[in-house]
Copies of this chain bind each other. A is one copy, B any other.
Amino acid sequence: MPSRPGVTLSARLADIAAALGGELRGDGERLVERIGPLEAATPDTISFLSQPRLKHLLQSTTAGAVIVRAEAAEAALARGAVAIVVPDPYLAFARLTRWWAARTRPAPGPGVHPSAYVAPGAQVHPSASIGPMAVIEAHAVIGEHVAVGAHAVVGEGAELGEGTQLRARATFGFGCRIGARGIVHSGAVIGADGFGFAPCEGRWEKIEQLGAVWIGDDVEIGANTCVDRGALDDTLIEDGVKLDNLIQIAHNVHIGAHTAMAGCVGVAGSARIGKHCTFGGAAMILGHLQIADHVHISAASVVMSSITKPGQYSGVFPIDENANWEKNAATLRQLHTLRARLRALEKKSST
């Protein structure tokens, strides 16, 4: 097996504690070589305990170090592990992964790969990295420390803000805009035409989509996810939104800041979604409706009208052994007649 360059690292626990702003208890000179869960940890693993209800896992771990809240430090030390004490171990773990990745996955250096094509009139900041075979069309603006991966396409007049990454084979359409520190994963398509047609004698006449896509700062967009350009105005994605893979965002949708959507979600045209919402995988949101801030939609649930009150909402047919499902589904098709029959019985019974 070939070496995977840069994937291994021997990290001093004192350095990690310093980077996380945590209190080190134990030998700071000790080295760890991987991050891993408590259950499968080896002495060269640094692990973390975020949920107090899992505290029993500490009692049998062989991790070399554990990131813990103060109240769990003793239990870690008792197992011979070094403890790094922080107020929020899960958040510290997230930060550790970034610290780790920065050391094991060096970013590509600045410059335009000789096989890339940068059209005349495009502005590429000298600190930006443009990968092999990437295409930057005319008048595009590529900001400081932007990384454009192999085979990515940036359309005419599009703008990528500081530090944003277009991964290999992402497509960023003409006239669209993304702010700072964004990530657009491979295969994502930003700025395809919204789906708009006028009926005319049994045929469909295309409505050209004259808007674009406007994306704020710190937005992540998953692999093969699509965000369509607006019909007249722009489709809007505010700061901090996180979209997983294979999501469809139709034209003129507006997604509020820090909302997150899991894979396979679909949002139909002109839906207006609040801030700090979450959507489980494959949730579907119909068009021209509004969803308030702090609404949470369960996986595979379908939002058919506006939701004005924060909370968790669900709507999924429960799975069952096939034979049971068949009987229940058949009955469901007569449910309103069952209600009528029940009402009739109640009436009879009350007389």
A residues apposed to B, CB below 8 Å = 1-5, 7, 34-37, 40, 88, 90-91, 93-95, 97-98, 100-101, 104-105, 113, 115, 117, 119, 123, 131-133, 135, 137-139, 141, 149-151, 153, 155-157, 159, 167-169, 171, 173-175, 183, 185-187, 189, 192-193, 195-200, 202-210, 218, 220, 222-224, 226, 228, 231-233, 240, 242, 244-246, 248, 250, 258, 260, 262-264, 266, 268, 276, 280-282, 284, 286, 297-304, 311-322, 324-336, 338-339, 341-342, 345-346, 348-349
Contacts and interface: CB of A to CB of B under 8 A. Distances in A.
Nearest to A191: B186
A322 to B, nearest CB: 4
A208 B2 contact: no
A139 B6 CA distance: 11
Nearest to A299: B286
Contacts of A141: 2
B135 A150 contact: yes
B187 A4 contact: no
A242 B202 CA distance: 13
A93 B149 CA distance: 39
Given A224-B224, A315-B316, 12 more contacts: A1-B159, A2-B159, A115-B117, A150-B153, A195-B263, A263-B268, A313-B322, A316-B317, A331-B336, A341-B342, A345-B346, A348-B349
Contacts of A246: 224, 226, 246, 248, 266
Contacts of A115: 117
Contacts of A342: 338, 341-342, 345
Q: Please provide the 8 A-B residue pairs with the shortest distance between their CB atoms, ordered closest to farther.
A: A315-B319, A94-B198, A192-B223, A101-B208, A97-B208, A327-B336, A248-B263, A312-B322
B299 A175 contact: no
Contacts of A192: 167, 185-187, 222-223, 245
15 contacts: A2-B141, A3-B157, A35-B210, A97-B209, A113-B117, A153-B186, A192-B222, A195-B222, A195-B262, A203-B258, A298-B325, A314-B325, A317-B317, A318-B330, A328-B336
